[in-house]
Structures are given as C-alpha cells and as structure tokens.
Structure 1
C-alpha cells in the first residue's frame, strides 16, 4: 500500500473562514477535501488552490443539515485514511428575538451548528485515534461567552461547541489527537447576511478580516492552545475564567442543598 499524503477536510469551505482555512492548509502541504453547498464556488476555489499550490483538492457538495447528504461526508471521514485534520467551520447565525421567530429556522441553525459538527467529529475520531495523530478544529464564537438578548439560540449553539470541545479534550488527554476550539469575534464574512444584524453597524475596530482571523487561529493551534479567543489580549484572562469555573465544581453536586435554600 502506498503512503498517501495527509489530507485536511474543511466544511463551509466556499466562503469566509472556510476558504481561508483551505488556502492556508494547502500552503502547509495538505491535500484538501472541501465541503459546502455551493458547487460553483467550491470548483473555483479548488481550481485556484490546485494551480497555486499543486495540492490535490476534492470537493463534496453537501447540505450538512440533510441526513442523506451528511452521511456521504461521514462515510468519507470514516474511510479515508489520509485524513489528518477536520475543520468544523460550517455554521450559520440568526440573531433575532425569539418572540415571533420562526422555529423551523432555528431548528435548522441547531442542526448545522450543533448536530452536523457533532456527527462529523464522531465520524472522524476513530480513524484519527487509530492512526495515532490528527487534529479537529471546532469553530465556536465569542458569542459563546458574550450572551445577548438576540443570541439565545446562536449563543447556545456556540456554547455547545465550546463545551463539547472541552469535554473531548479531556477524553483525548492521553491521545495524540488534538482538539481546538476557536472563538472569533465579528469577522467580515457572509455569515452576517440574513442574520438579522448588519455588520456595517459595528465600529470598524470590532471587525476582524478573514485572513487575520484564520492566521491567528492557526497560530493558536501551533502554540497548543486548547481554546483560542482571537482578539483576547491576555490568554491569562481566559485561564482565570476557567479556574473560576473549576472552583465551582466540588460544590455542584452535594447530598444536601446549600444552606440558603434550607429553612
């Protein structure tokens, strides 16, 4: 059997962070499997990367909220032994008050941001652990921590991505497989189109470029950060936040209620 080149899988690859991840990972020597709904955009990106880097690029057109279509991606993740990296970037935003909202639209948001990411991670992990190396990058959001009146579902999905990743990091602590959570703030991408929030309403100093965001995320990965908060000046602030959370743990489950709840 010939040794295959290492391959990176990027979901939501047709625009924004996904496109930049594809370009950067090709530059790092990875062949690519690019997943998104927009075939024309995927083909244009693949052609550009092939001609620029000489890397092999496969495209998989798939709506990750559709059970039949996600199963095709899962099968590839389970069976392609060249896969070394999965970037779970596909996601959407909907930032509207829940009162009067369309439940089906929010169900689709949960399916993409939570269910698809979970399924794809479960599909890729056995192969990565069996091969003894690999990386999963899960794109969360600063809004996992910055919870707003219009972000009930979106913040909920991104909080899920963060805690899912942190639990997986514990599960794989003795494994050579790396899992990173990335928490971008506002980035200049199409995510905002139809989200209910106009990106142009934000001060310019709040909004990061796609290239800078992905370069920072990869720098965090290279540095071994389990959680990369792209614009946070001091990582110690996140570490303090985590220590405060851990300090709660011994008292979260006790035989008796706290004294303040007892008459």
Structure 2
C-alpha cells in the first residue's frame, strides 16, 4: 500500500527539517515548503540519497499571497498528499508597545492566516476521501500570557483553538488533527527574531521534540505537549474548561453583577 505524501511548511530548518527526515525514514514521499530554495534543495538531495523516497521542493513565502495560493493549490490538487505539517512560523522580540504595524502584520500573516488557509485548502479533499491528517504547531506560550510574548502567544493560542475546533468538526469525516505545543526548543527561530538565548534556561533538542510529537501522532493524541511531564495536568485543565462552560447561563447575568 502506497504511503501518503507529506507536505511540510517551514521545512528548510529546525522542526520542519526534522519532520522531513523522520517521515522520509518511514518511507513517505515529501513536498518541502519554505522560502530558502537553496537550503530546501540541499535537504531534498540528502533525503533522496538516504531514503528511497521522492522529495519535491516548493519554494514559497507564505506571507506573499501568490506564494500562499500556489501551496493551497498543491494541497487541493495533489491527491497523493495525505498529511499536512503546518509548521512555518516566526517569533517576535520586544514588548507589546514596541511592536510595529508591519511586524504584527507579518507575524499574524504567517502564524495565523497562512496556517489556517492551508488547513482549509486541504480539509475538504480529506473529508471527501474519508481520511487525512493535519498537524498544527502551536506553543506552550499560547497558554502563558505571563511570558510577555503577547502577540506571538496570541497567535499560538489561536492555533490550539483552531486545532480543537477542527477536531470537533472534522473527526467524524475521518480527519485527524493534532496540535503540538513545544516549549523552548533549540532552533533558528530565536536568532531570526533577534532573541538572545545565551543565558536562557536549557531547552529541548529539536530531534527529541519531533520524535515525541510523532509518538503523539502515532497515538492519535489531539494535543501533544512534549515537555509536559504530568499528562494529567492537561486533562485537568481541559475538564475545568468544560466545567466552566457547563455553568454558563446565557439568558441572564450572574447574580454578582446585579448588585453594587
């Protein structure tokens, strides 16, 4: 049986490149998407040499409308693609008041808009086929406004919510959706964002992160948090959220708001 092809965004380095290596080892053909064509070509050549797989390179800046549209078209039309790894993303340095309109727009364009549009492009075909997998890379920062990465964290909170909502809507159609929440991981994202991690706490190796995420993928976890050492913490948080919703009575305000 032919294995599904895997389209990976942000594939030229870091998490995306390791996902490419791991899926190639499993015998999946790949479509690698990133801005840096030279690095993509180098990675593709190495993966072809090391594994009996086909590797296509699709250079694209997902913040550019025409490039994003080209990747969407590939996802809609290439019926070999059965797995989307929605990994491309950027971080941002500085506090909320120090962000520029341009930096905010670019962050949201990549972390939110592109990710959502790519998932939206492939989901109808997966639903018609009765199967497919979408992996969205979120972040622990999306659970932690205390980390003071406000805009970045908000985009990652969006990714988690989106993934959970997609599961509710799409699981009955045979589509598996996984949200992966890394914490600090050694990748180029820090340098690109201008964040000095020289004196930061020790982080996770990117290979260890992706291996853990793929274990969650194999187990069909809905939310995979590799650095969370007590899994029940997430279960308690999610149960608390559902309990809060059960106490919502939308027809009237709570009694505490009816008196001064």
Q: Paired residue for 1:261?
A: 257
- Secondary structure at 1:87 match in 2: strand
- Deviation, structure 1 residue 197: 2.7
Structure 1 residue 245 corresponds to structure 2 residue 241: yes
- Deviation, structure 1 residue 198: 1.7
Q: Paired residue for 1:199?
A: 197
Q: Paired residue for 2:228?
A: 232
Correspondence for 1:76 among 68, 74, 77: 74
- Deviation, structure 1 residue 149: 5.5
* 1:95–1:154 CA contact under 8 A, matched in 2: no
Distance 2:246 2:231 in 1: 25
Correspondence for 1:115 among 113, 116, 119: 113
Q: Paired residue for 2:35?
A: 37
Distance 2:61 2:204 in 1: 27
Q: Which structure 1 residue ranges, 5 or more long, are not aligned?
A: none
* 1:97–1:149 CA contact under 8 A, matched in 2: no
- Deviation, structure 1 residue 203: 2.0
Give the total of aligned pairs.
259
Label 1:54 to 1:173 Cα distance change in 2 as closer, same or farther (>3 A): closer
* 1:7–1:33 CA contact under 8 A, matched in 2: yes
Q: Paired residue for 2:25?
A: 27
Q: TM (normalized to structure 1)?
A: 0.95
* 1:217–1:228 CA contact under 8 A, matched in 2: yes
Q: TM (normalized to structure 2)?
A: 0.96
- Deviation, structure 1 residue 166: 0.3
Q: Paired residue for 1:58?
A: 56
* 2:141–2:147 CA contact under 8 A, matched in 1: no
- Superposition map of 1:96-135 within 5 A: 96-135=94-133
Structure 1 residue 211 corresponds to structure 2 residue 212: no
Aligned Cα root-mean-square deviation (Å): 1.3
Distance 1:52 1:179 in 2: 29
- Deviation, structure 1 residue 130: 1.6
- Secondary structure at 1:138 match in 2: strand
Label 1:196 to 1:252 Cα distance change in 2 as closer, same or farther (>3 A): farther
- Deviation, structure 1 residue 131: 1.6
Distance 1:154 1:89 in 2: 14
Q: Which structure 2 residue ranges, 5 or more long, are not aligned?
A: none
- Deviation, structure 1 residue 212: 0.3
* 1:33–1:57 CA contact under 8 A, matched in 2: yes
Distance 2:47 2:147 in 1: 41
Label 1:185 to 1:149 Cα distance change in 2 as closer, same or farther (>3 A): closer
